[in-house]
Chains A and B, each alone.
Chain A
């Protein structure tokens, strides 16, 4: 059974800092790993999708890496801004679990001016 863990659970940083969010998963037989952002009371916004054959993906100030052998993914946010404040979730998809994403508990990020 896939289990996904995210650390830290919460993070508070001043504006402008570079930061790293961590995600680990127990079953390395994943097809892809996806990072999402969730604002309070809202749905999930897809940030980056890393396929199992890839090592990293980049979108603007965001960079996500994937190491299947160690069961880890990281989301790097450069030059953080107050608008980045949200909950960040990683989710693993794998095996024959069609359409099933296994989510971590999320990291609550606060970027203060």
Chain B
């Protein structure tokens, strides 16, 4: 079956602009989480959605937001882009659900965002 699909794969944006990234989870997976990966900070958690509800959020400014649709697809948005937002943005999907927390996370190939 198809894996996690992220679009676009690459983006170049200018400071001050906004950007929307998309993630389609594995069919049947209801949890989608987002991570930012940079050489200096490694992988950092942004937020997690399950059944269209944000259940958890990392320590990122309000410029970072997300949402999940009824088909479990998710988008994240970054407004007023800064140079430091340049990173690889990864999304992961899992079955999710409570109290099933022992589910395996599967990652997409990521979106490489470059802010100039």
| Chain A residues at the B interface, C-beta cutoff of 8 Å | 31-32, 34, 36, 41-46, 49, 51-52, 89, 91, 93, 97-106
Contacts and interface: CB of A to CB of B under 8 A. Distances in A.
B31 interface: yes
Contacts of A52: 102
19 contacts: A31-B102, A36-B107, A42-B109, A43-B4, A43-B90, A45-B107, A49-B102, A91-B105, A93-B101, A98-B48, A98-B96, A99-B105, A100-B56, A100-B58, A101-B43, A101-B105, A103-B35, A103-B42, A106-B42
A34 B101 CA distance: 12
B50 A42 contact: no
Given A44-B92, A100-B33, A106-B42, 14 more contacts: A31-B102, A34-B104, A34-B105, A36-B107, A41-B88, A44-B90, A45-B107, A51-B102, A89-B43, A91-B43, A99-B48, A99-B49, A99-B56, A104-B42
Interface of B: 4, 6, 31-33, 35, 42-43, 45, 48-50, 55-56, 58, 88, 90, 92, 94, 96, 98, 101-102, 104-110, 112
A98 B56 contact: yes
B3 to A, nearest CB: 9
A37 to B, nearest CB: 11
B11 to A, nearest CB: 14
B9 to A, nearest CB: 10
A31 B43 contact: no
Given A44-B107, A89-B43, A99 B112 contact: no
Contacts of A34: 104-105
Contacts of A102: 45
Contacts of B102: 31-32, 49, 51-52
Contacts of A100: 33, 45, 48, 56, 58
A52 B103 CA distance: 11
